[in-house]
Amino acid sequence: MSEAIDCIIREAIPGDAEQILELLNKTATQTGFMTQGTEGVGITVEEEAKQLAKIYDSLNNSVFVALVDDEIIGIASINGSDKPKIEHIGDIGIVIDKAYWGYGLGTLMMEELLLWADASPVLSRLQLQVQERNTRARYIYEKLGFKLEAIIERGVKDDGQLLNVCLMSKLI
């Protein structure tokens, strides 16, 4: 285990937009586990800030950031729809700068998302997709009560290789 670090986890605010985009662009190529690659996020800081403001007031969307020395090093989100028939479903995403792997931040950030989701009057199902080969992430999700629902064969392509993706969910 790595030595301890001081980390703050809090909900994202519009002022975090630039650092969030920088982290997403940085982590896109740190591993083959991300769906984004060298093409980057493709939105401006202003667009991200507007989106964060909208998310902050939502009952089925949330973004949390992990900060070390005022630098965002992790992002965890729940993305829900505004369509009434599926607004109860929250899609989870999480990314942590590889330099901070091994500190338990993935688990801590997921626990924050789950607490937030439990308090939501809208959400009753959380789901996520994770590459089958990403055993570290799958272990965290299983530990927190997510169940494997399906294997999506050839669900992602990395360096020309077609890879399976796990669809996992947790009812809340």
pLDDT digits (tens, 9 = 90+) for 61-98: 999 999 999 999 999 999 999 999 999 999 999 999 99
Helix (H) or strand (E) holding 109: helix 105-119
Q: Give pLDDT, residue 149.
A: 98
Q: Give pLDDT, residue 3.
A: 76
Q: Which two tokens stand for residue 130?
A: 């994770």
Per residue in 100-159, pLDDT (tens digit) is 999 999 999 999 999 999 999 999 999 999 999 999 999 999 999 999 999 999 999 988
Q: Give pLDDT, residue 11.
A: 95
- Confirm if 151 and 163 have CB atoms less than 8 A apart: no
- Rounded CA gap, 24 and 46, in Å? 16
1-5, 25-29, 55-59, 114-118: least confidently modelled range = 1-5
Q: Sheet harboring 8-11: ordered strands across?
A: 8-11, 62-68, 71-80, 89-96, 125-131, 161-171, 147-158
What the chain holds in terms of domains, given with CATH numbers, is 8-127 (3.40.630.30)
Q: Which two tokens stand for residue 110?
A: 């997921």
Q: Give pLDDT, residue 56.
A: 85
Query: What pTM does this model have?
Result: 0.89
Q: At a CB cut-off of 8 Å and minimum separation 6, what does 7 contact? A: 66, 67, 68, 73, 103, 105, 108
Q: At a CB cut-off of 8 Å and minimum separation 6, what does 139 contact? A: none
**Residue 59 banded pLDDT, cuts 50, 70, 90:** very high
Mean pLDDT, residues 48-57: 91
Q: Which residue has the higher pLDDT, 5 or 166?
A: 166
- Rounded CA gap, 121 and 124, in Å? 8
- Confirm if 117 and 80 have CB atoms less than 8 A apart: no
- Confirm if 88 and 45 have CB atoms less than 8 A apart: no
- Confirm if 4 and 55 have CB atoms less than 8 A apart: no
